[in-house]
Structures are given as structure tokens and as C-alpha cells.
Amino acid sequence: MDLLTQLNRAMVFVEEHICDDIALADISSVTAYSGYHFRRLFYYLAEMPLSEYIRKRKMSLAAADLQNGCDRVIDLAVKYGYDNADSFTRAFVRQHGLTPTAAREPGAAFKIFPSLSFQIKIKGVQEMNWRIEKKDAFEVFGIERIYKNDAWRDIPAFWDEKFKDGSTERLIKQAGRSDLMGTSSHTDAEADGFSYMICLFAGDGCDTGGFKAVKIPEATWAIFRGEDMDSSEDFGTVTPKLFERAYSEWLPSSGYEKANAPEMELYCTTENGKFYDEIWIPVVKK
């Protein structure tokens, strides 16, 4: 089953189980992907976390319930998985800009979010610089943080924190190189979370003391190179966009599918002082 078919099957699953949070927690079961990898794919293809999409769908359906029925607010809160009427009301106001009570009034305006369906993006205006490489296992070492699923937007703050407290400077000094990397993967320590590391390649004889060392398994990688840039400050916007293009434009029609291995992002400098990024996505032939 191809990627788009699996994603669209998952969206049907969301609609059929929108009031069942236990089932929604296992949405990846209708795909060939782990929960971590499915949420990662969804984030870049839909440009929002899965949890945000589900919340928007719940609030859209709740608005219709309020307009068309006489359910009590507390009953709707329970129906859509909220602990109490107050938390439901806060979520409702955040999306629609009015309270559930006001939503019953004639002429009330809502921000309805329709169910998603996925299609191949055909753009072709901007070429992608990519290659396929098979690499032996290698080791990286660095600073790890565990995140809850869907917390991708918190990662830039992690980089800022470690630059400010001197951790990245110490990491570069011990590695003897400055091409910093980020790697993310599912972690068994948190069933509903993922690990993200700011790291560097661990060369022979490298002092990894004080940092976590991780072995990246042998894999085939789809490697995408970004454009040269004048400032490293642009990485925060261009790297997520490169991931999004790789997932939405390249992967669906590439003849490959995502493998169950960590993803990598590399931040590099050219000989003439320019900056560029690379993203490494582990893949297998279909």
C-alpha cells in the first residue's frame, strides 16, 4: 500500500473514531508505520501536529452539534474527550473565538476545519538536489532531550538553550569539528515520545565524555542538500521546509518508503564561508 493510501486511510480512521481517544492513540495501526514515524510524516505533510489536527476536527464537529442540537456543554465535553466543561470551552474559544453558549445563537460564525485528504503535490518549479547513499553504521554523540509526540516546534528553543549555556561549544571542542547535526528517533523510554539529539560524528579516538553516544545503524539514506545561505540563522526556517518538500514532493512518487531508523539533519559550511543544510531520511525500496 503506497504512502498516500495509508495516510488517507488514517484520516478516515480519525473521522470514524473522533470521539474515542483510546482508538485515536493507535491511529498508526491502520498504516505500516510506527506511531512515531506516522506522526513525523503527518507533521511535514499536513504542516501541523496530528494532535492539533484532531483538536481542530473535534471543535469543528462540536460547533455543528451546538448549532443543530440541544446537548449540554458538559455532555459535549465528555463526548470529545475533555475532562470538564471549562477545558472544552477554552479549546472551543481558541478555535472559534466565541463560547459554546454563544455558538447556539442564530448567525454565529465558526472557523470550521474540514477533514484532510492527501494528494501528490505536483510543483516542479524548484528542483531538489538529492541522492541515495548506503552507509555503514556510525556513531554520534551529543545532548539528548526527550519530547512528547507532536512537540517538534519546541526543538528550536532546545538549540537556543544549548548555544547559550555553552554545551554546543564544548561538544564542538571535544569532536574537533563544527558541522553540528540533529537526529530524531522513537525512544522506548517514552511510548508516546521521541528522542532528539544535538550531536556530532564521533571519530576515532574522539572524547565523548559528558555526552550521550548513540550508534546509528547501517541504512540507505535519501539525502537532500539545501541551497547555500549567507547566515546560519536561516536554518530554523529552511530545514523544516526541506523536510516538508522531501516528504510531500519526493517521497510519494520516489519508489521508496520511509524506513524505521533515525532521521538526520546536518548543518555545514562551505570553503567560501557559506552555510547549507542536508537532511538524511532512511528509506527502503518498495
pLDDT digits (tens, 9 = 90+) for 107-164: 888 999 999 988 766 555 567 889 999 999 999 999 999 998 788 889 999 999 999 9
Q: What is the structure's pLDDT at 189? A: 46
**Tens-place pLDDT, residues 197-221:** 999 999 888 899 999 999 999 999 9
Cα(105)–Cα(264) distance, integer angstroms: 51
The whole-chain average pLDDT of the chain stands at 89
Grid cell locating 201: 560524528
DSSP-assigned beta bridge partners for residue 195: 146, 185
164: enclosing H helix or E strand? helix 155-164
**Tens-place pLDDT, residues 60-104:** 999 999 988 778 999 999 999 999 999 999 999 999 999 999 998
Full set of structural domains in the chain with CATH: 3-103 (1.10.10.60), 129-285 (3.20.80.10)
Task: Output the pTM of the full model.
Answer: 0.78
Measured at the CA of 258, the angle between CA 252 and CA 263, to 5 degrees, comes to 120
SS3 236: helix
Which stretch of 26-40, 45-59, 94-108 has the lowest confidence by average pLDDT? 26-40
Polymer length in residues for the chain: 286
